[in-house]
Structure 1
Amino acid sequence: MNRPSYEVAVSKNRLRYEFISIGAKGHIQKIVEYSYVNSLNVWNLGFGDFDPATGRISDSVISDNGDGRKVITTVALTLLQFFEVHPTETVIFTGSDTRRTMLYNRIVLQFYDEFSDRLLITGLNQEGIEVDIETGIQYAAFIIYKVS
């Protein structure tokens, strides 16, 4: 991938990734965290701004720092790093609200061709059924597997 991305600090188990977004609103700490959802037997990709007041990730903040493409590229690259250590696992992600889910739908379509040789990306339709990705369809969530 030849898109600009941020340098990432990675935890030893490759479940937490931290980087700094640099843009119009200053320096904003971003976190990508993979957490296991036992009931679904998948890993959830969580992403957002670090909130120093709570010590948690806020996935509802709209940073609008002017570097969205670079941030999304960085998040996408964490998937490749995650799968280096966890190659047989499954990752799922969705937006924290309808607007973000729609944004993620657009982003997945933009990145799909670049990652399709390394990652199998499917969509969860509105009925909760896993299906192949098609242009023009809105998915409730995305499921990602490493291509063998």
Structure 2
Amino acid sequence: MNKIDIYETNLSIESTIVQYLFESNGEKKLIKAVQYSGFKTQTGLIMYNLGFGDYDFETKSISDNESSNNGDMRTVFNTVLNTVPKFFQDNPGFPIYVQGSDSSDLFEEECRISCFKNCDEACKNRNRRIRIYTYFVNKHFAALSKEYLFFGYDEQKETFVEYVPQNNYIAVLVYKKK
């Protein structure tokens, strides 16, 4: 079986925030964090938003708007994904909400100010992060579906629907099967 490269993570829990910190050893040494932040929906359901980015020790927060381009993207991505089963093991029953920081209308407005791509209609950078996650889910859907339930956010219906591989979603909701 192929060995998947991942970085060792250190768990940190504060109130409703669960963080897995690790050192990215690419072109430079950077501290990264995978953060699961608990929140309550309008219907009262508690879920956890998955965030990821560079870690700031002063503010104890992550910056998920930058791309560090550190040369170790695959190992970093595998490390992020490796935290999902760990999270579900320690937090059974709570779903994970995944949406890229580049999925909002505000992102597109700000991107157009400094972007060199000069996109005519749709911003090519928008939803780039969620597309990375959905690409992985699509590729491994049969195997992942044995352990997890997936729902995708349908923008036209403005609700989560059963996940269908190859459809475009701006957010994904993941539940661990019991």
Looking at structure 1, the residues matched to 141 and 132 of structure 2 have their Cα atoms a distance apart, in angstroms, of 14
Looking at structure 1, the residues matched to 167 and 144 of structure 2 have their Cα atoms a distance apart, in angstroms, of 19
One-letter amino acid of the counterpart of residue 134, structure 2: N
Q: Match of 1:132?
A: 162
Looking at structure 1, the residues matched to 25 and 140 of structure 2 have their Cα atoms a distance apart, in angstroms, of 22
State, as a whole percentage, how many aligned pairs show the same letter: 33
1:4 corresponds to 2:5: yes
Looking at structure 1, the residues matched to 151 and 174 of structure 2 have their Cα atoms a distance apart, in angstroms, of 6
Farther-moved stretch of structure 1 (135-144 vs 111-120): 111-120
Matched residue SS, 2:172: strand
Q: Match of 2:72?
A: 67
Looking at structure 2, the residues matched to 113 and 68 of structure 1 have their Cα atoms a distance apart, in angstroms, of 24
| RMSD between aligned residues | 2.2
TM-score of the superposition, structure 2-length normalised?
0.72
One-letter amino acid of the counterpart of residue 145, structure 2: S
The Cα of 1:2 is off from its aligned counterpart by 4.3
One-letter amino acid of the counterpart of residue 130, structure 1: F
Which segments of 5 or more consecutive residues in structure 2 lack a partner in the other structure? 103-125
2:129 to 100, 106, 128: 100
Go from structure 1 to structure 2 and tell me whether the alpha carbon gap of 1:77 and 1:111 turns closer, same or farther (over 3 Å shift).
farther
Looking at structure 2, the residues matched to 36 and 54 of structure 1 have their Cα atoms a distance apart, in angstroms, of 18
Q: Match of 1:29?
A: 31
Looking at structure 1, the residues matched to 82 and 142 of structure 2 have their Cα atoms a distance apart, in angstroms, of 14
Matched residue SS, 1:15: strand
One-letter amino acid of the counterpart of residue 12, structure 2: S
One-letter amino acid of the counterpart of residue 6, structure 2: S
The Cα of 1:131 is off from its aligned counterpart by 2.2
Aligned partners of 1:95 and 1:104 also within 8 Å:
no
1:91 corresponds to 2:91: no
Go from structure 1 to structure 2 and tell me whether the alpha carbon gap of 1:2 and 1:146 turns closer, same or farther (over 3 Å shift).
farther
The Cα of 1:132 is off from its aligned counterpart by 2.7
TM-score of the superposition, structure 1-length normalised?
0.85
Matched residue SS, 2:166: coil
The 5-angstrom pairing of residues 107-122 of structure 1 reads 107-122=136-151
The Cα of 1:109 is off from its aligned counterpart by 2.1
1:16 corresponds to 2:19: yes
The Cα of 1:71 is off from its aligned counterpart by 1.1
Go from structure 1 to structure 2 and tell me whether the alpha carbon gap of 1:12 and 1:59 turns closer, same or farther (over 3 Å shift).
closer
The Cα of 1:35 is off from its aligned counterpart by 1.0
Looking at structure 1, the residues matched to 37 and 140 of structure 2 have their Cα atoms a distance apart, in angstroms, of 23
- State the structure with bigger RCO (CA 8 A, min sep 6), 1 or 2: 1
1:78 to 83, 105, 111: 83
The Cα of 1:104 is off from its aligned counterpart by 2.7
The Cα of 1:72 is off from its aligned counterpart by 1.3
